[in-house]
Amino acid sequence: MWAVQNLSLVLIELGAAITGLALLAHVASRLGFSPIPLYLVGGLAFGNGGLLPLNLSQHFIHIGGEIGVLLVLFLLGLEYTPHRLAADVREGYRGGIADFVLNFPPGFLAGLLMKWPPMAAVLLGGITYISSSGIVVKVLTDLRRMDAAETRTIISILVMEDVAMAAYLPIVAVLLRGGTAATIAQSVLIALAFAGLALFVAFRYGPRLSHLIANKSDEAVLLTALGIVLLVAGGAERFGVSAAVGAFLAGLTVSEPIAAQSHRVLAPLRDFFAAIFFFFFGLQIDPGTLPAALPAAIALGVITAGTKIATGYWSARDSAEDLRGRIRAGIALTARGEFSIVIAGLGAGIEPRLGPLAAAYVLFLAVLGPLAVRLVR
């Protein structure tokens, strides 16, 4: 009887949490901006120290959240064929270098100024560097700007950031585990070799693999794609590569001809589990720690919004002929989201202030970025 009652309570709490997320999604849709900051606020409200703490199944929420991130990045990889990725890298590498030079140092220097451990400062640099591909693409789609002159530059920079994460996340994960210089170097080489092998398979055998798994049945494609995501992400994690990067590379490998069908069948799962991911991150943060982090988060947000605008303005000098288009390119890049939260999660054990600062920072820019894009027509 106790087990039945306990199960019923867990189901009621999960149902209430998911219903709450649905209401937040409705509110965000009505207001016309990304629901990500609202999901974070929902997690803060129902986590430890929140207004109404829930005794949710932490294991389920954590695994569900991880699956959400993997699906977000897998579907992002589906957007690119290997050859299109190579073309975007060739065209956008200058903008990508400028992006890193302008946006990594503010976070890194802020971490050092706050006297955090060097690795925590490196993580904060990654948080300020990476834009939210999900938020940026959604806003551009909603505003029907995917065909605008400056959008090609925006997408190229986002691609360069995703490629940079393929190197950044494995290296950071290895360094966080520690060890001698030799073991660290060995782990980094293994991680990079795995990423290189995945890219080689994508370029050489991607179309052939895609044709093998293509099927008229949505059910077959759904199960196949989901299985590939989990297997590749798990293998990547085993070899020291971030599971998130593994999911992106898996999407890149099987991008054609099943991209459209995979998007259709996986998008609802992605949206559900991505909401769970941001909600779970919010659950882990004590709201009482946010007021202390807010001044630094806002200051860092203002500075790095400026550096992103400078990045887009400089990078779009060829694609956007008018001044307004170049400014729009920079403003579109200001939002931070999924990767920033992933990076913050890596540093939870080395600097307790990183999580609250990252949450406040993402909340600030995930709201400011989309609103600013809508204002600059």
Residue 305 confidence (pLDDT): 95
Which DSSP string corresponds to 246-271? HHHHHHHHT-TTTHHHHHHHHHHHHH
Give, in order, the Cα–Cα distances in Å from 11 to each of 6, 15, 19, 157, 291. Answer: 9, 6, 12, 42, 33
Best CA proximity match to 34, nearest among 63, 72, 84: 72
The span from the CA of 359 to the CA of 284, in Å, is 10
Residue 51 confidence (pLDDT): 64
Residue 377 confidence (pLDDT): 66
Residues 153, 140 contacting (CB under 8 angstroms): no
pLDDT confidence bin for 108, thresholds 50/70/90? very high
Angle at 265 between CA 264 and CA 267, to 5 degrees: 70
Q: In angstroms, how far is CA 288 from the centroid of its own chain?
A: 25
pLDDT confidence bin for 220, thresholds 50/70/90? confident
Give the 3-state secondary structure of 39-90: HHHHHHHHCCCCCCCCCCCHHHHHHHHHHHHHHHHHHHHHCCCHHHHHHHHH
Q: Using one digit for the tens of pLDDT, what is the confidence trace for 303-316?
A: 999 999 999 999 88
Burial of 188 (0-12, 13-18, 19+ CB in 10 A): middle
2-375: CATH topology = Na+/H+ antiporter like fold (1.20.1530)
The angle, 0 to 180 degrees and rounded to 10, between the axes of the packed helices 259-284 and 58-78 is 140
Q: Is 147 helix (H, G, I), strand (E, B) or coil?
A: coil
Residues 249, 195 contacting (CB under 8 angstroms): yes
Give percent above pLDDT 90 in the chain: 16
The span from the CA of 233 to the CA of 146, in Å, is 30
The span from the CA of 98 to the CA of 71, in Å, is 29
Can you give the length of the chain in residues?
Answer: 377
Best CA proximity match to 349, nearest among 142, 149, 129, 120: 120
Domain ranges of the chain: 2-375
Q: Using one digit for the tens of pLDDT, what is the confidence trace for 230-278?
A: 888 888 777 766 777 778 778 877 766 677 777 788 778 778 877 877 7
Residue 256 confidence (pLDDT): 65
Q: Using one digit for the tens of pLDDT, what is the confidence trace for 156-190?
A: 888 788 778 777 877 787 778 776 667 667 767 77
Give, in order, the Cα–Cα distances in Å from 116 to each of 97, 111, 122, 123, 350. Answer: 26, 5, 10, 11, 9
pLDDT confidence bin for 130, thresholds 50/70/90? very high
Give, in order, the Cα–Cα distances in Å from 115 to each of 118, 121, 328. Answer: 8, 9, 35
